[in-house]
Amino acid sequence: MKQLSTFIRKEFLHVFRDRKTLLMLFGLPIAQIVLFGFALSNEIKDSRIALLDYSKDAVTTRLIGKIEASHYFDIRRNLASGEQLNAAFKRGDIKMAVIFPQNFGDDLIHAGKATVQVIADASDPNQATTITNYFESIVTDYNAELSQNAQQPLQIRPELQMLYNPELRGAPNFVPGVMALVLMLVCTMMTSVAIVREKELGTMEILLVSPFKPIYIIISKLAPNLVISIVNLFIILALSDIFLDLPVKGSVALLVGCSILFILTSLSIGLLLSINAKTQQAAMMGSLMGMMLPTMLLTGFLFPIENMPVALQVLSNLVPSRWYFIIVKRVMLKGLGFSSVWKETLILTGMCLFLFGISLRNFKIRLQ
Amino acid sequence: MKTLRFLLEKEFRQLLRNRQLMRTLLLAPLIQLILLPMAADYTVKNIAIAVTDNDHSPSSQRLIAKITASGYFRLAGYTASYPQALKMVEEDKADLALQIPAHFERDLVRENAKQVYVAINAIEGTKANLGGAYLRSIVSDFNDDLRVQWAVIDDAPQVTVASSNWYNPFLRFPLYMVPAILVTLVTAMVAMQSAFNIVQEKESGTIEQINVTPIRKHIFIIGKMIPFLVLGIVLFTMGLLVGRLLYGIVPVGSLLVLYVSLVVYLFAMLGLGLLLATYSNTQMQAMSLSFFFINIFNMMSGVFTSVDSMPGWAQAIVATFPPSHFIKIMRTVVLKGSGFSDIMPQLWAMAAIGLFLNTWAVLNYRKTA
């Protein structure tokens, strides 16, 4: 036991001596939470649009007034002709163009119908759909105004309510994602590189010929990363509560417990990766390709899993962070209890035991 | 010049000799480029909807049928009460809960208007946005259907909207995602590896041997940068080919514009790699530093969420990230066929950032080496 505690102290010294890496380990989560939390948003507002009004009558003036009054659009009037539209789209100056044809007002009053043309820059399909929809809803409002005298019959009105995240901020979705990513990064990448580093520098040989048990080597390598990850976890939770107004709605103990489970799983993966890698570079690329990429890809916080091809959906079940992400979302954002995450917790426990067992079995006590 | 040639020969040999590294450098991005666009499909469809129908009238049935037949929504189930539907949203079994109140049809006939209640899980903003918009337009269509069916004369004047989608008329996601993903891959490979390469020489001590030779610093740096510049161009070309063969993406704009922008971009990112290398003594540090920047670059540069939706201060920060400019260039050139005159601001920004980073790196390199 004394041996073990000495070795753990040695590993801690190694980690804490390297100020630059340490700064990154704690700087990354802080920077990510602050930047992503405040900056990333799915809300679409003040989209720059071009307005071509060939009619310039009372009706178009009224409609333009309504467009201006909504916070969805920011009108650019400096376009004189349709030819300039393409250029403006190509420069990325505008997202949409609204064109009122000649005699728009006359047509509306005399023929009872007038058509406004809308051209959206659909390179980003969802944005195009959303702003076109916003515009249509303004026109619908206007139509309702027009028919106020003749009381438009048969109106079903949907009353929309946005649950959990009414301002459509990016933070509620990104904070759990960042948690998964950061814990994964520290545990998997740092662990595998730290072990392979000893191999590359030749000090592993010394460790292996010593009477020190291999299991102690593993434990002492894992301990600092476990501690750092838990500290990181609390930093993230505190930051999101203080700055992002995202407190843990459910039980903190449950969230921390599940996080530790996830941390242990990630540590096991790091251990597993270190077994086969010979150089630090290989270990790093291995954890990038083997872990970071699947985490980014198949966790569900960047890409919607339900839209993926079936093969990828099946594969995503094997990624631990996917389950962890679900747990965090439910416990932290929705405030649900253990009864609604027991399945995910069980899966994570199974993965953790399996991976740790495999990496223990395969940890080589010889160099060749 | 002769020194440079020898240095380049050494660098290329070392790079090509490392089979394991070359395999990762070339194969990994290829796999990513094949997989990522498949996964990065933000088309909002199959929104799971939980329905509470308290009316059970022909009208309410038809409204539900119309919603589920639209292709955007998938019926997750009927519930007896609204709280139960909300519970389904809570448990992620449904994204959206719809309540049709009792006496829906009767009130619709009598009072000419009636509300339906919709609650959307807004944790995923895009989905919530679009789900709400789709539902609104379906209900509005349904209103029109009812009027026709019940032969209500509606002579109020109407403004209609004729909308068209330019540059991506079929709203295909790969068209939008592949150019951006290609940028992130080139970034990860090139910036990280160049930092690593130099630090490796530091860690193994060979950099001291170079330092004592009459090789000038800038020649050494150019010698380190050129192989990765070439690697970046090879990767980029592979990426364009994959995009073309697999996703049928043919850049509308000229390849010359793309490649000129690429070289300017690589200049900036290699400058970053170099700078990070001058600040690191071990590969671990180089890894932590480059991972820090690459991660933030990837998330903030508009690959996943639009830069335009960010607050002003964040946009100002993002403007100093080279990838944000190159991603914008890629998307406009590939999709809209923008030319040099359209992308000049981005090109200048990247060149300025590149110059700044490289100068800083060279100055810092002199001091520490």
- The tens digit of pLDDT for each residue in A67-81 reads 888 888 888 876 767
Question: Chain A 117-146, CB below 8 Å of chain B: which residues?
Answer: 117-130, 132-137, 139-140, 142-143, 146
pLDDT of residue B351: 94
Question: Would residue B37 be called left, alpha or beta, if left means φ above 0 and alpha means ψ between -120 and 50 degrees?
Answer: alpha
What's residue B26's pLDDT? 78
Determine whether the interchain pair A280/B283 forms a contact, defined as Cβ–Cβ distance below 8 Å. Answer: yes
The answer to whether residue A237 is domain-embedded is yes
| Same structural domain, A61 and A27 | no
Instruction: Give the Cα separation of B96 and B102 in Å (integer).
Output: 19
CB B332 to CB A123 under 8 A? yes
Which of B128, B172, B196 lies nearest to residue A168, judging by beta carbons?
Answer: B128
State residue A154's pLDDT score.
Answer: 60
Co-location of A85 and A19 in the same domain: no
- Say whether residue B19 is in contact with chain A using an 8 A CB cutoff: no
pLDDT bin (cut points 50, 70, 90) of residue B323 is: very high
Asked if residue B23 has pLDDT above 80, the reply is no
Report whether pLDDT(B175) > 60.
Answer: yes
Q: Is residue A151 part of a domain?
A: no
Q: Same structural domain for residues A206 and A282?
A: yes
pLDDT of residue A153: 59
- Does residue B350 have a pLDDT over 90? yes
Stretch among A198-212, A350-364, B320-334 having the lowest mean pLDDT:
A198-212
Residue type, B227: P
Each residue's pLDDT tens digit, B276-299:
988 888 887 888 888 888 888 888
Question: Which spans in chain A are helix H?
Answer: 2-17, 19-39, 58-69, 83-91, 104-106, 125-146, 171-184, 191-201, 203-209, 214-242, 252-276, 280-287, 293-298, 310-316, 320-328, 342-362
For residue A108, give the CATH number of its domain. 3.40.1710.10
| Cβ neighbour number for residue A311 with a 10 Å cutoff | 10
- Given a cut of 90, whether residue B37 has pLDDT beyond it is no
- Of B326 and A298, which is predicted with more confidence? B326
Domain shared by A34 and A68, yes or no: no
Residue A265 — very low, low, confident or very high, per pLDDT cuts 50/70/90? very high
pLDDT band at A353 (very low <50, low <70, confident <90, very high): very high
Token pair 């619709």 in the structure block, residue:
B108
A168: nearest CA partner in chain B: B125
pLDDT at residue A78, rounded to an integer:
65
Query: Is there a domain that residue A59 lies in?
Result: yes
Contact A164 B165 (CB under 8 A): no
Interface residue B160 vs chain A (CB under 8 A): yes
Residue extents of the structural domains in chain B: 2-40+171-368, 47-149
Cβ pair B329, B343 in contact under 8 A: yes
Give the 3-state secondary structure of B137-166. Answer: HHHHHHHHHHHHHCCCCCCCCEEEEEEEEE
Alpha carbon of A161: minimum distance to chain B alpha carbons (Å) = 5
Query: For chain B, what is the mean pLDDT?
Result: 83
More confident residue, B329 or A210: B329
User: What Cα–Cα distance (Å) separates residue A74 from each residue in A128, B166, B286?
Assistant: 15, 20, 43
Would residue A245 count as lying in a domain? Answer: yes
CB A297 to CB B36 under 8 A? yes
Q: Which of A146, A281, A295, A338 to mutate to test the interface with B (most CBs of B within 10 A)?
A: A281
Tell me which residues of chain B, numbers 201 to 260, contact chain A at a CB-CB cutoff of 8 Å: none
Same domain, A140 and A83: yes
A154 falls within a domain: no
A361 to chain B, closest Cα gap in Å: 26
Point out the residue among B127, B159, B305 whose CB comes nearest to the CB of A108. Answer: B159
**Mutation target vs A (from B124, B315, B347; most A CBs, 10 A cutoff):** B124
Q: Are A217 and A294 contained in the same domain?
A: yes
8 Å CB contact of B289 and A156:
no
How far apart (Å, rounded) are the C-alpha atoms in residues A161 and B117? 8
Give tens-digit pLDDT for A266-280. 999 888 888 877 777
Query: Which residues between 9 and 48 in chain A have a beta carbon less than 8 angstroms from any beta carbon of chain B?
Result: 18, 20-21, 24-25, 27-28, 31-32, 35-36, 38-47
What confidence category does residue A260 fall into, taking pLDDT thresholds of 50, 70 and 90?
A: very high
Asked if residue A171 has pLDDT above 80, the reply is no
Tell me: the pLDDT tens digits for A125-138?
888 888 888 888 88
Asked whether this complex has an ipTM greater than 0.85, the answer is no
Question: In the predicted model, is pLDDT for residue B150 greater than 80?
Answer: no
For residues A310 and A173, state if they share a domain.
yes
Pair A21, A77 in one domain: no
- Chain A residue closest in CA terms to B104: A156
Domain that holds residue A89: 47-146
Asked if A247 reaches chain B (Cβ–Cβ under 8 Å), the answer is no
SS3 A75: strand
Predicted pLDDT at B369: 46
Q: What is the mean pLDDT of chain A?
A: 82
Evaluate whether residue A184 is within a structural domain: yes
Predicted TM-score (pTM) of the model is 0.82
Residues A34 and A51 both lie in one domain: no
Residues with Cβ < 8 Å from B257, sequence gap 6 or more? Answer: B329, B333, B338, B339, B340, B343
Residue A58, pLDDT > 80, answer: yes
Single-letter residue type at B226: I
CB contact under 8 A, B116 and A156: yes
Q: What is the pLDDT of residues B188-203, one digit of tens each?
A: 878 778 888 888 888 8
Residue of B nearest to A172 (CA): B123
**Would A287 be classed as within a structural domain?**
yes
Please check whether residues A216 and A334 belong to one and the same domain. Answer: yes
Q: Please write the tens of the pLDDT for every residue from A280-323.
A: 777 877 777 777 777 877 887 777 777 788 888 888 888 888 89
| Distance between CA atoms of residues A101 and A117, nearest Å | 8
CATH superfamily of B47-149: abc type-2 transporter like domain (3.40.1710.10)
Residues of chain B found within 8 Å of residue A143, distances taken between Cβ atoms: 156, 158-159
User: pLDDT exceeding 70 applies to what percent of chain B?
Assistant: 97
Number of domains in chain A: 2
- At B19, the amino acid letter reads R
- Kindly determine whether residue B165 and residue A120, on different chains, have CB atoms separated by under 8 Å: yes
Q: What is the structure's pLDDT at B169?
A: 79
Nearest Cα neighbor of A236 from A181, A165, A179 is: A179
Q: Which of chain B's residues have a Cβ under 8 Å away from the Cβ of A124? A: 176, 306
Say yes or no to pLDDT of A364 above 50: yes
In a shared domain, residues A235 and A317: yes
pLDDT value of residue B205: 78
Rounded CA separation B57/A92 (Å): 49
Residue B64: HSE in the Cβ half-sphere, 13 Å Cα cutoff: 24
Of the listed ranges A347-351, B152-156, B272-276, the least confidently predicted one is B152-156
Q: What is the pLDDT of residues A13-50, one digit of tens each?
A: 888 888 877 877 888 888 888 887 777 777 777 888 88
- What is the rounded distance in angstroms from the CA atom of residue B115 to the CA atom of residue B101? 8
Predicted confidence at residue A366, as pLDDT, reads 64
User: Are A198 and A248 members of one domain?
Assistant: yes
* Confidence (pLDDT) at A150: 54
Assess if residue A162 is contained within a domain: no
Q: Are strands A96-100 and A113-121 parallel, antiparallel or unpaired?
A: antiparallel
> From the CA of A338, how many Å to the nearest CA of chain B?
12
